[in-house]
A and B are shown apart, each in its own frame.
Chain A
Amino acid sequence: MSGATFSTQTLLQLSYLVAAALFIVGLKRMSSPLTAVSGVRWAGVGMLLATVVTLAFMGASPENLALVIGAVVVGGALAWVSGKRVAMTNMPQMIALYNGMGGGAAAAIAAVELYRGDAPNATHLTIALIGGFIGSVSFSGSLIAFGKLQGLITRSVRFGGQKVVNLAILIATLVLGASIVVAAHDSLQMVSAFFVMALLLGIAMTLPIGGADMPVVISLYNALTGLAVGFEGFVLDNAAMIIAGTVVGAAGTLLTQLMAKAMNRSLGNVLFANFGESGSSGTGGVTGTQKAIEAADAGVMLAFSQKVIVVPGYGMAVAQAQHKVWELCQLLIEHGVQVRFAIHPVAGRMPGHMNVLLAEAGVPYELIADLDEINAEFETADVALIIGANDVVNPDARNNRQSPIYGMPILNADKAKNVVVIKRGQGQGFSGIDNALFVLDQTRMLYGDAQGAAGQLIQAVKAAG
């Protein structure tokens, strides 16, 4: 039994190994609806194990240990409360916020290592810098994304020569980083300047990006945080961080690609060719007037339909209307109407956002169809009921080569016999593009917020018998 006395170091490493395995199993289970909840719990057990073992054996001085515990308790408690309280509709920005915090933590690790200034070699130093750079960009960029989705930052800041400015910031950051490594200029000022520039870059990169592209951006920053964590894992010799960070980096990159593909946009397009630039000229193709309808008439139309396809969008999320909408649909189903929900891959602010909300309201899976399943069915539908969706049903994406969203796969709501659009006002959608669907002959607009309008429709359907 000579080998039975494990050093604490071995114990730490073994707990990290187990944690890494639990993360991978957890992520795997999270990719199927049936096992998803158990997946996050497995990953949670891994996290708890790694944290507790680290806390017990990291060998901190009493003062430092008190600081660690204090920061964990305060940060954890704030996140716990905010995470429990946030409405389902605001999930995307909370993910952005928590992700930014992770990026910031990776940057902080790099900063502690760099300020100490005793890196054993240039490789070590370079990896710390790269991780710090990526983490900083992810931190400030995610905070801007959070601000935009939360409505704290209402407009996309764009100006001439913006790309040049961003490129200049990037080059400045890289030059600073390189001189820190090559010329060993690891003074406080140099390192600080490096981080300031990296943080600026994240802000400057994210400010011009329109809200419609935010899901892709958040996903990208999620992947970047993963990478930053992986790099800092190398710096700290921490296998759990290397594995978990890299797994998330790769998975996040794939997820970002899937999202960009669903919007028919390349990642470069999202980051460097802003929607709004061409969007202002995208108004050209749409002529005609929107025709309003009263809720009472729309209710009768729905009640006497055979088949209704509901297309929810961000407007439903903003108004928290998912419960009312499902109530309306249940009423229609009692009337013998065939009801289905059509979910565009990027409806809402994130892929799957609508599915989460409909699941919350209790809509059964089998009524929910994705784009490929449902698109042929619009031709047989009596009514396509659009609830706060805009770009994802814009036929210009199919027909108008001038449109900035030309080529994006859309739900063919315009093929339905009648279209009823619930919309707050006559203005443009989030991307600032006019919608050709709204002025079609068979389209009627029901103005109002989604929750109120759904309530009125419920009354109208009841009144219709």
Chain B
Amino acid sequence: MIDGVIALYIFMLAAFTGYEVISRVPVILHTPLMSGSNFVHGIVLVGAMVALASADSTLARVIGVAGVFLAAGNAVGGYVVTERMLQMFVKAGRRKSESA
């Protein structure tokens, strides 16, 4: 068990980190970054897996399967669309340097 006060410290430091990481981002990256952070909370997958692993009733298994299914969609889908979007910036940059 993570001690209550320690947990609050983790919470506080993580909140500042999130704020700081984003604070100087150019507008053109807002959508990819939203998508990227959407991918990052896909970590809920590990929690959903643990919840399903500990399921001991049919109800818990049904909800657990739904949870893992949704979480996997969040993680995988979030990764795929973020990478596709960011790839375009790479391509645009490369074409620019070739023409230069």
Chain A interface residues (CB < 8 Å from chain B) = 16, 19, 23-24, 26-28, 30-34, 36-37, 39-41, 43-44, 47, 50-51, 54-55, 58-61, 64-65, 67-68, 70-80, 82-84, 86, 88, 91-92, 94-95, 97-99, 101-102, 104-109, 111-113, 115-116, 123, 139, 218-219, 222, 225-226, 229-230, 232-234, 236-255, 258-259, 262, 343, 345, 350-353, 355-356, 358-360, 362-366, 368, 370
Contact = CB atoms under 8 A, between A and B. Distances in A.
Interface of B: 1-2, 4, 7, 10-11, 14-19, 21-57, 59-61, 63-93, 95-96, 99
Contact of A92 (B29, B31, B53, B91): B31
B8 to A, nearest CB: 10
B30 A351 contact: yes
Contacts of B22: 27, 31, 250-251, 254-255
15 contacts: A58-B53, A67-B55, A76-B75, A79-B74, A79-B80, A84-B84, A99-B78, A123-B4, A139-B70, A232-B44, A244-B43, A246-B14, A249-B18, A253-B19, A356-B28
B76 A75 contact: yes
Contacts of B17: 24, 247, 250
Contact of A30 (B15, B36, B46, B53): B36
A116 B50 contact: no
B26 to A, nearest CB: 7
Main secondary structure of the interface of B (DSSP, over half): helix
A232 B26 CA distance: 32
Main secondary structure of the interface of A (DSSP, over half): helix
A360 to B, nearest CB: 5
A95 B46 contact: no
A31 B24 contact: yes
A10 to B, nearest CB: 14
